[in-house]
A and B are shown apart, each in its own frame.
Chain A
Amino acid sequence: MLTVLLFLPALGAAFVALLPRAREHDARWLALAVRGATLVLAAVVFVAHESGEPGYQFVDRFEWIRAAGAGFSVQYALGVDGLSAPMVLLNGLLSVVAVLVSFRITDRPRAYFAWLLLLETAVMGVFLSLDLLQFFVFWELELLPMYLLISGWGTGRREYSATKFVLYTLAGSAFMLVGFLVLGLAAGSFDIEVLAREPVADAAIPLSLVFWAVMAAFLVKLPVVPLHTWLPDAHTDAPTAVSVILAGVLLKMGGYGILRIALPLLPGQAQEFSTALAAIAGLTVLYGAVITLQQQDLKRLVAYSSVSHMGYVLLGVSALGTTALAGAALQMFTHGLITGLLFVTVGLIYDRTHTREIAELRGLMHRLPLIGAVMVVAGLASLGLPGLAGFVAEFTTFVGAIQQQPAATIAGVGGIVLAAGYILWTVERVFTGPPDERWSGLTDATAWWERAAMGSLVLLIVAVGIFPRPLTDVIRHGVEPIAAVMGAA
């Protein structure tokens, strides 16, 4: 089941690539069909897995490389639990949205959609892997389509940004690989389940170094201050769909890695350094928010706001309790929806105005009431308005973290005032004011794919905000074992 889920998009990518040139415009339909099917599978997995059961479900496993002499083996192993199921669903969902917002792509559509589909498989692989080396392979695999999509279909300094993105990630993952190898060789297994059951007590190099080596990759990906400068560049120059996936799903690989690997596999070190993580989290929230206030480019602004919001994920992580970890996992999911939607609307605005300079945009609400209203909803969700998804995640994080990390939590709560500042100020500058002559010819979102992309995300943001229980019940069972390990260590 999970194998099908994992490789369906890759298979689709092959078919898309093999489409005859005459039918290259059907690539988008094929991509949509494949991703639709993937989303259905992801939803089935999300609903059908028994959240009450401990451990991984739908496990597919066989031995890939066995090195009996060295006492270890590498496996192909997939599984889901309450932590990965929401991420799988999010990936499936935003992937469909990404195809929808790409419906206007006419430049080499076969290649574009093929890479986009391959990206989905790579990210799915990260969320489903139960083996460290397999995790690493998918982690690296994601870079290839990202690099090509940004440099091939982006705007502005796209090659610079794409290269920067790759170099940053590679630098991080080099450390991660070393960390994984040390851990795996010390335990004789790369199986995440085995390693989590009996955390490594001693290894070739001090475990605290291993911890930071592994964290390096995750913290770059999340990203946290000061490892964040690749993000605004990558976003600004990426095509809309790639921004949606990048902010919506790829950043979550960092948070997911921390929750899945760094914490359970190195619980002692996680506790030892929890205050340092909290400090980084507080800094990321506040610094990210202050920088966001300075942005003149709409897309850069949303990108920097993501940096600030990812600080909340790390804040939840640093507190190590069930509630805080659940808050972090929730924040990953809700931020995916919210920032995905923000990038969709920014992309739709850019499609129409061909500028992202906030100073040039004004009074757009007169011409684009639907896009404007949707962006206001997304913005309000982003600033943590109750009734929308972001609040549930942030509030849970705060409740969970304030006891263990009071200073960082207070910094985090301070971040919501700044968030109100940059969101509302942006809305004021871009959408309100008298109608502008220059934009009098714009048309609102009328195409079905634009409306479907926005509508589905708005619906989910409201649904999670009002009735979060189905999601929180799943996530709770995903983080309880991690919190239990942390409590024992």
Chain B
Amino acid sequence: MIAGLGTIPEGALWAIYLAPVASFCAIAALLRGRPLAAGRLTIAAVGLTWVLSMWALASALHHDGEPLALQAHTWFSVGGFEMAVGLHLDGLTAVMLVVVTTVALLVQVYSTGYMHGDPGYARYFAYMSLFTGSMLGLVLASNLVQLFVHWELVGLCSYLLIGFWFDRPSASAAAKKAFIVTRFGDLGFLLAVLLVGTKTGIFDIQSINELAHGGALGGAVLTGFTLGLLAGAVGKSAQFPLHIWLPDAMEGPTPVSALIHAATMVAAGVYLLARFFPSLDAAPAEVGTLVAYTGGLTALLAATMGVVATDIKRVLAYSTISQLGYMVMALGVGGYVAAVFHLFTHAFFKALLFLGSGSVNHATGTFDMRLMGGLSRAMPVTFATFVVGSRSLAGVFPLAGFWSKDEILLDAWIHHEWVLFALGVGVAALTALYMFRAIFLTFLGEYAGGEPGHGGAPHESPASMWVPLALLAVPAVAVGWLNVGGGFGTFVEGALPEEMRHFEFDVHPVVLVSSTLAAFGGIGAAAAIYLYRSPPPERVRAACGPLAGLVERKYYLDELAETVVVRWALHRGIGRAAAALDRVVVDGVVNGVGRLSLSAGDAFRRAQSGQLQAYTSMLLAGVVAVAVLLFVFGGEVLAE
């Protein structure tokens, strides 16, 4: 049916981006007092973008994922610098459109249940609309500056939504932390934009990639450019050492975590690197190595922290950081398809898991797993879908996560990156361990009573919440098969220059066996420790000694950032010194000079009766000085 419509026109692509933006404007201007209408409008707008995105997908499929020719428009121009705006559609864009609109639509439906009765309901949907529009603007941008603009806008929405419950000091602090920490990465990204823009005079993404691929853009400029992109990705996709904002971001409402901090915005960093993969590929090999090890190290650190977290959302947050690490690692070893594919599958099962944790919270009033347990009977749909999501994430055959994770490990293997391969397998084991630990603590065993004062026995969530869970379970199971045979890979490779398209679907026995063993090993360990308590978790913790404490304190990285860097160095050190300098030295000198001249002018002042006269005299003195000078230099002044 869609194929009969032909290729999607540019106007319809703009509508994908602008429909949610229009929804935001309408809610902000008209619907603040009508929350239900605000929710419905948002769902309608996102629904429209979903339909149009399917059309865009069909068009992209029709072109084998190769870019559609679309013209850019002038935004503004100054001197030799012209700012353009335009849209870009290829296989990579189409995949991102599908991910963003599908998850956004289901999350909005879920939100009508989860946020029901919240006093900020209309504001919530306004922000969600703005986020969806900005995210779509980000993936559709044909121009680096335009991409940066939306990159910042999704960061703004993230800030607004993390701090949505602004009466909670922890939420406000988390929102601020998220924005500022990611801005450090954005700094690198902005410098990359400025660098490439001034050296080449071009901001068009496609052209930059072509220049880099063709060798016209290279050397230090390309290195600097790609490093700047990496900095941006490290901030946005919560990679070490800027990952510290994401766990705190869990202060936001859970559907926000599912949409923004799991499926879409945090994947924008990976998208950025994938979008500029031809540039990354042309950069010196050391850049790729840095990218790969940044991702690998992040994957490992985050996975270990996931094992000790007691808050179910934080487990998922660490898991997200870890999985994003996988994707970044894949890009570093040249696994473009693997990274995009894992981004794609991860969006569905991680959104599912977050929404599941929200459903659990709805029933128990808490996210603390120590207060849960035994929820499987009361919440069968939540339980079943959570297990499906966890298995997919843990990489159990034949679920979605299995295929995409194996693709990444395979890339490490065939590029002979043994350290990264071993790291990846280790992380796979840890992933299975922390997810099944979460399942056992939450759903099995005895119910620990939930949040004190949250009355009543736990019960399944309303249909508006469990239906999206059930719907998300389908892709979490099935989308892995899209790439069996290589269809997905060929499609997203349409975004690359022709010489770089060489994806072939493959499985390698060593990879297959080691990843499956890792998954079952992790699940087995979780079962032994948390289900059968042999050995009991306390003993395991004691056996790990100081290492356990180190991990529980998040490797002291938060303290390092907040206490040492911000509080000591910036505030007490530089800030106070500068403030003192300003007060004592700069102002002191000035006031000294001022006093001197005042006392000199005291006699003059005493002759006057008040401030006004004193001042007027000063002014007059200036004017008189002009007049006198004129008389001195020009004999005929005023004569004519």
| A interface residues with partner B (beta carbon < 8 Å) | 65-70, 72, 74, 133, 136-137, 140-141, 143-144, 147-148, 151, 159, 163-164, 166-168, 170, 173-174, 177, 181, 185, 225-226, 228-230, 287, 290-291, 293-294, 321-323, 326-327, 363, 365-366, 380, 385-387, 391-392, 395-396, 398-400, 402-403, 409-410, 413-414, 416-417, 420-421, 424-425, 427-428, 431-435, 468-469, 472-473, 475-476, 479-480, 483
Contact = CB atoms under 8 A, between A and B. Distances in A.
Contacts of A69: 634-636
B149 A428 contact: no
Contacts of B586: 225-226, 228-229
Given A168-B590, A226-B586, 8 more contacts: A67-B633, A67-B634, A170-B622, A230-B590, A424-B176, A433-B166, A433-B167, A435-B167
Contact of A185 (B153, B626, B633): B633
B79 A416 contact: no
Interface string B172-196: 1101100110011001001100110
B92 to A, nearest CB: 23
A253 B24 CA distance: 38
Contacts of B629: 181
B623 interface: yes
B81 A469 contact: no
A143 B619 contact: yes
Contact of A432 (B80, B156, B169): B169
Contacts of B636: 66-70
B472 interface: no
Interface string B59-86: 0000000000000001111111100000
A177 B173 CA distance: 51
Contacts of A143: 615, 619
9 contacts: A65-B637, A143-B615, A147-B615, A151-B611, A168-B590, A294-B571, A321-B79, A398-B194, A476-B79
B6 interface: no
A291 B587 CA distance: 13
Nearest to A480: B79
A70 B78 contact: no
A102 B566 CA distance: 39
A129 to B, nearest CB: 14
Interface string B309-328: 00000000000000000000
Contact of A386 (B81, B148, B637): B148
A369 to B, nearest CB: 9
If over half of A's interface residues share one DSSP class (helix, strand or loop), that class is named, otherwise mixed; here it is helix
Contacts of B622: 140, 170, 173-174, 177
Given A133-B626, A167-B594, A385-B156, A402 B167 contact: no
B579 interface: yes
Contacts of B241: none
A395 B145 contact: yes
Nearest to A475: B78
B599 interface: no
A399 B172 contact: no
Contacts of B195: 402
Contacts of B197: 399
Nearest to B615: A147
Contacts of B635: 67, 69-70
Contact of B149 (A287, A321, A363, A386): A386
Given A168-B590, A170-B618, A326 B149 contact: no
B630 interface: yes
Contact of B77 (A70, A398, A472): A472
B10 interface: no
Nearest to B150: A386
Nearest to B173: A428
A399 B198 contact: yes
Contacts of A65: 630, 637-638
A392 B148 contact: no
A323 B81 contact: yes
A410 B175 CA distance: 26
B216 interface: no
A282 B273 CA distance: 31
B166 A472 contact: no
Contact of A424 (B149, B179, B590, B591): B179
A173 B626 CA distance: 12
B176 A425 contact: yes
Contact of A229 (B152, B575, B590): B590
B597 interface: yes
Contacts of A425: 176
Nearest to B169: A433
Interchain residue pairs A-B with the least CB separation, the first 5? A67-B634, A322-B79, A70-B634, A386-B149, A432-B172
Interface of B: 74-81, 145, 148-150, 152-153, 156, 159, 163, 166-169, 171-173, 175-176, 179-180, 183-184, 187, 190-191, 194-195, 197-198, 570-571, 574-576, 578-579, 582, 586-587, 590-591, 594, 597, 611-612, 615-616, 618-619, 622-623, 625-626, 629-630, 633-638, 640
B169 A385 contact: no
A93 B356 CA distance: 53
A71 to B, nearest CB: 8
A472 to B, nearest CB: 4
A417 B176 CA distance: 12
Contacts of A396: 78, 81
B440 to A, nearest CB: 36
Contacts of B183: 416-417, 420
B615 A428 contact: no
A356 B175 CA distance: 24
Nearest to A424: B176
Given A65-B637, A168-B590, A413 B619 contact: no
Given A416-B187, A476-B79, A432 B166 contact: yes
Nearest to A330: B78
Contacts of B638: 65
B165 to A, nearest CB: 9
B167 A66 contact: no
Contacts of A434: 167-169
Contacts of A400: 78-79, 81
Nearest to A144: B619
Given A151-B611, A170-B622, A399-B198, A70 B633 contact: yes
A391 B149 contact: yes
Contacts of B623: 137, 140
A447 to B, nearest CB: 20
Contacts of B76: 392, 468-469, 472-473
Contact of A420 (B172, B180, B579, B615): B180
Contact of B597 (A151, A167, A290): A167
Contacts of B191: 410, 413
Contact of A322 (B78, B152, B187, B616): B78
A128 B412 CA distance: 67
Nearest to A372: B166
Given A137-B623, A168-B590, A291 B579 contact: yes
Contacts of B575: 290-291, 293-294
A278 to B, nearest CB: 15
A385 B148 CA distance: 10
Contacts of A475: 78
Contacts of B574: 290
Contacts of A66: 636-637, 640
B142 to A, nearest CB: 16
A387 B194 contact: no
A63 to B, nearest CB: 9
B118 to A, nearest CB: 15
B180 A417 contact: yes
B153 A229 contact: no
A291 B152 CA distance: 25
Given A290-B574, A380-B156, A395-B145, A433 B80 contact: no
A70 B638 CA distance: 13
B156 A72 contact: no
A420 B576 CA distance: 19
A287 B585 CA distance: 14
